[in-house]
Amino acid sequence: MKKAIEKFNRWLDYEDLDNNLRSELLLLKNDEEIYEDFYKDLEFGTGGLRGILGAGTNRMNIYTVRRATQGLANYINKHYSKADSENKDNIPSVAIAYDSRINSHLFAMEAAKVLMGNNIKVYLYSQLMPTPALSFAVRYYKCVAGIMVTASHNPAKYNGYKVYNNEGCQMTLKAAAEVYNEIEKIDIFNDVKMGDGQLEMIPNEVTDKYLERVKKESTGPVGCENLSVVYTPLNGTGNLLVRKILHMIGVQKVSIVKEQELPNGNFPTCPYPNPEKKEALELGLSLCKKLGKDADLLLATDPDCDRVGIAVRHTNEGKDELRLITGNEVGILLLDFICQRRIDAKGNYKKMPENPIAMKTIVSSKMADDVARHYEVSMIDVLTGFKFIGEQIGILESKEEDFRFIFGFEESYGYLSGSYVRDKDAVNASMLICEMTAYYKSKGQTLIDRLKELYEQYGYYKNDLIEFMFEGAAGMKEMSDIMNRFKEKLSLQLIGKKIVQIADYQTSVRRILGSSGHCDLAVGTKPIDLPKADVLEYVLEDGSSFIIRPSGTEPKLKVYLSSKGETNEESVYIINEMKKELTEFILKKN
């Protein structure tokens, strides 16, 4: 508490402190509020910065953004000399983009000033842009890094700052640790260099080139002119580019959710602008109902347009209804669809390459493994976070084999086909989803019909997610305590089934347990060949499993549930029983 108060007083004593932030500090009512704002520095991790807007070292404001950018600039100038630069001006360069959130443009400009003050050229989008467009700009201009100012799908009180490497991929563990070390050396008020320098606005032609590259991932004519789409950008960045790509593939009937069409960082109609959540899609679903059979598909992109959620119209036992489809289900459908189209490719459409590769995160559906195996596609599993998929694409590119990558996805509604960017891309995904929906419509099917066929072919896999909020300093400690409780006190039996595998990604060891299920009778161990992470995985004797981890971007503990049953009902039952027992264990106070 003492250090937090000292930091608070130092901020108040700083003569040049922004007036709005000073006023905010003066409104703090007690030591507990001061502590929350100052008890730590906003952490820079592999996702960059993300936090609540406001005054203080633990908040997103111009000073924490400047400090982080100075650390990034020091890292760049240490690793990239003029001689190493591929930039035509012979100095390192960084691309910057920003979304519709409160202060996003301000933070982008502050970051640009710091970079220019450190003799680094800046390429800046002149209007808000999706995250994948930032990744594209980094690669297009051969920048050494990129900055995307966004807090993705978090509530309006948040903003953030994602950092990309020279491949257009979010910084992975080693580089992010180096930047963090540089940031730690910097005094927030005294050590930041700001100035004017080389600033170039990114022209519209670069955005056009990005869209052209997205279009190259099209699966070809599938009847999109007969598709009716409802689209909502959730007051974010997707409005212009998603509509353009749909026009480019022939979708002629697009209805926009007017209340969510224009950028608005307050997100007045969806306080939690996350397309994973039905609440954020309510206005879109209402418009679909109003349009009736003139709406085949609902698309909803998150504020920085790297993720997309969908609902489809489907007739069930004679009754017309709108069905939400989960991120896992969309990933499975797209993998199957892309494989079908590549195998049956005609003319100039993309054919299946030799030794094709797909990728997914460890928390995504195991059903995708079966689909990939059916099409003789190798599946690579990576840690949670699309940056690890981007990293694997980069490894392929270094061997001139990135053409082997056909599709990657994560359960949280992120998808990508093609190696032109190194992050999930909702512009790309919206195009593919529309083509897929139109393709099955031309055959008299909906996506629900095709999903049912896939379940009948591969088994009834089900996935679910339970989340627990733990805000503030006390919340961080509580999450840590719960993770330790899982390691030390969880019974080796769940829903009446033995736990037969325990994987600790922090120690990189997977334990295979003996038939009695006791730890001391473990029959073997296997190394986990992935970067260390605060993740625990438990596998039951019937193949069901769950993974638990603290979120890297929100104050949440996430539990990912997976089951496979002989019938849909059996699989759902297993999921629900696991949910009950795990929730009871997590909320237990001792």
Residue by residue, DSSP assigns 149-183 as E--TTS-TTEEEEEEE-TTSBB--HHHHHHHHHHH
Q: Please identify which of the residues 104, 152, 255, 430 carries the catalytic annotation.
A: 152
d(CA 382, CA 480): 23
Count CB neighbours of 212 within 10 A. 11
Q: Using CA of residue 560, residue 566, residue 568, residue 571, what is the dihedral sign?
A: negative
- State how far the Cα of 99 lies from the Cα of 12, in Å rounded to an integer: 30
| Contacts of 203-211 spanning 24+ positions with Cβ under 8 A | 206/136, 206/137, 206/140, 207/129, 207/133, 207/241, 209/136, 209/140, 210/132, 210/133, 210/136, 210/137, 210/140, 210/241, 210/420, 211/241, 211/244, 211/245, 211/248, 211/427
**Quick one: tokens of 373?**
């195996």
> In 39-83, which residue ranges form alpha helices assigned H by DSSP?
62-79
* 563 classed as catalytic: no
Report d(CA 138, CA 202) in Å as an integer.
Answer: 11
* H or E element, residue 417: none
CA 517 – CA 338 distance, rounded (Å): 41
CA angle 178, 183, 185 (to 5 degrees): 105
When computed from its CA atoms, the radius of gyration of the chain, rounded to whole angstroms, is 24
Catalytic residues: 152
